[in-house]
Protein backbone atom coordinates (compact mmCIF):
# COMPACT_ATOMS: atom_id res chain seq x y z
CA UNK A 1 0.00 0.00 0.00
CA UNK A 2 1.33 3.39 -1.03
CA UNK A 3 0.43 5.65 1.92
CA UNK A 4 1.46 8.85 0.16
CA UNK A 5 -0.74 8.01 -2.83
CA UNK A 6 -3.60 7.12 -0.47
CA UNK A 7 -3.30 10.50 1.26
CA UNK A 8 -3.10 12.33 -2.05
CA UNK A 9 -6.15 10.59 -3.53
CA UNK A 10 -8.19 10.97 -0.34
CA UNK A 11 -7.39 14.68 -0.28
CA UNK A 12 -8.38 15.13 -3.92
CA UNK A 13 -11.55 13.09 -3.49
CA UNK A 14 -12.54 15.19 -0.52
CA UNK A 15 -11.87 18.39 -2.48
CA UNK A 16 -13.78 17.35 -5.59
CA UNK A 17 -16.65 15.30 -4.16
CA UNK A 18 -17.18 16.96 -0.80
CA UNK A 19 -17.25 16.14 2.87
CA UNK A 20 -20.82 14.92 3.25
CA UNK A 21 -20.58 12.56 0.27
CA UNK A 22 -17.46 11.03 1.80
CA UNK A 23 -19.18 10.58 5.15
CA UNK A 24 -22.13 8.83 3.46
CA UNK A 25 -19.70 6.64 1.57
CA UNK A 26 -17.84 5.71 4.76
CA UNK A 27 -21.10 4.61 6.38
CA UNK A 28 -22.08 2.68 3.24
CA UNK A 29 -18.75 0.86 3.08
CA UNK A 30 -18.94 -0.06 6.77
CA UNK A 31 -22.43 -1.48 6.18
CA UNK A 32 -21.14 -3.54 3.26
CA UNK A 33 -18.40 -5.00 5.44
CA UNK A 34 -20.91 -5.74 8.20
CA UNK A 35 -23.11 -7.60 5.71
CA UNK A 36 -20.24 -9.80 4.53
CA UNK A 37 -19.08 -10.52 8.08
CA UNK A 38 -22.60 -11.55 9.06
CA UNK A 39 -22.79 -13.89 6.06
CA UNK A 40 -19.57 -15.50 7.26
CA UNK A 41 -20.51 -15.73 10.95
CA UNK A 42 -24.22 -16.58 10.66
CA UNK A 43 -24.49 -18.64 7.53
CA UNK A 44 -21.10 -20.24 7.32
CA UNK A 45 -20.78 -19.05 3.71
CA UNK A 46 -17.30 -18.60 2.36
CA UNK A 47 -17.13 -14.91 1.62
CA UNK A 48 -13.43 -14.33 2.20
CA UNK A 49 -12.96 -12.48 -1.10
CA UNK A 50 -15.88 -10.19 -0.33
CA UNK A 51 -14.51 -9.52 3.17
CA UNK A 52 -11.15 -8.60 1.68
CA UNK A 53 -12.86 -6.26 -0.78
CA UNK A 54 -15.00 -4.54 1.83
CA UNK A 55 -12.17 -4.32 4.38
CA UNK A 56 -10.08 -2.48 1.79
CA UNK A 57 -12.99 -0.11 1.14
CA UNK A 58 -13.46 0.54 4.86
CA UNK A 59 -9.75 1.14 5.43
CA UNK A 60 -9.74 3.75 2.67
CA UNK A 61 -12.78 5.42 4.15
CA UNK A 62 -11.26 5.40 7.65
CA UNK A 63 -8.35 7.26 6.15
CA UNK A 64 -10.79 9.70 4.63
CA UNK A 65 -12.51 10.19 8.01
CA UNK A 66 -9.09 11.02 9.48
CA UNK A 67 -8.83 13.79 6.89
CA UNK A 68 -12.35 15.09 7.33
CA UNK A 69 -12.19 15.32 11.12
CA UNK A 70 -8.47 16.12 11.33
CA UNK A 71 -8.12 13.50 14.04
CA UNK A 72 -5.14 11.30 13.15
CA UNK A 73 -3.09 12.20 16.22
CA UNK A 74 -6.00 11.79 18.64
CA UNK A 75 -7.05 8.49 17.10
CA UNK A 76 -3.49 7.20 17.27
CA UNK A 77 -3.27 8.13 20.96
CA UNK A 78 -6.64 6.51 21.67
CA UNK A 79 -5.50 3.32 19.93
CA UNK A 80 -2.40 3.23 22.16
CA UNK A 81 -4.57 3.64 25.27
CA UNK A 82 -6.98 0.92 24.16
CA UNK A 83 -4.16 -1.49 23.34
CA UNK A 84 -2.64 -0.92 26.78
CA UNK A 85 -6.02 -1.71 28.41
CA UNK A 86 -6.46 -4.78 26.22
CA UNK A 87 -2.99 -5.95 27.16
CA UNK A 88 -3.93 -5.65 30.86
CA UNK A 89 -7.18 -7.58 30.33
CA UNK A 90 -5.44 -10.34 28.40
CA UNK A 91 -3.12 -10.87 31.33
CA UNK A 92 -6.01 -12.65 33.11
CA UNK A 93 -6.34 -15.13 30.22
CA UNK A 94 -2.59 -15.59 29.93
CA UNK A 95 -2.40 -16.54 33.61
CA UNK A 96 -5.46 -18.80 33.26
CA UNK A 97 -3.95 -20.53 30.28
CA UNK A 98 -0.79 -21.25 32.22
CA UNK A 99 -2.70 -22.39 35.35
CA UNK A 100 -5.46 -24.42 33.67
CA UNK A 101 -4.16 -25.13 30.22
CA UNK A 102 -7.57 -23.81 29.08
CA UNK A 103 -8.25 -21.11 26.53
CA UNK A 104 -11.66 -19.76 25.51
CA UNK A 105 -13.06 -20.12 22.00
MG1 LIG B 1 -17.64 -1.70 -0.78
Over residues 31-76, the pLDDT tens digits come to: 999 999 999 998 777 899 999 999 999 999 999 999 999 999 999 9
If asked whether residues 82 and 66 sit together in one domain, one would say: no
If asked whether residues 66 and 76 sit together in one domain, one would say: no
DSSP 6: H
Q: Please tell me the total count of domains within the chain.
A: 2
In which domain, by residue range, is 92 found?
71-105
Tell me the pTM: 0.84
If asked whether residues 77 and 35 sit together in one domain, one would say: no
Distance from Cα 60 to the centre of ligand 1, integer Å: 10
Distance from Cα 56 to the centre of ligand 1, integer Å: 8
What count of other Cβ atoms lies within 10 Å of the Cβ of residue 30? 15
If asked whether residues 79 and 66 sit together in one domain, one would say: no
CB 40 within 8 A of CB 53: no
Amino acid sequence: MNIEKLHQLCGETLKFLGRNYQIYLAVEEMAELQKELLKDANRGRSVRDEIIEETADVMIMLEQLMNIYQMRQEVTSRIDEKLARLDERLEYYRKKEVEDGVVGN
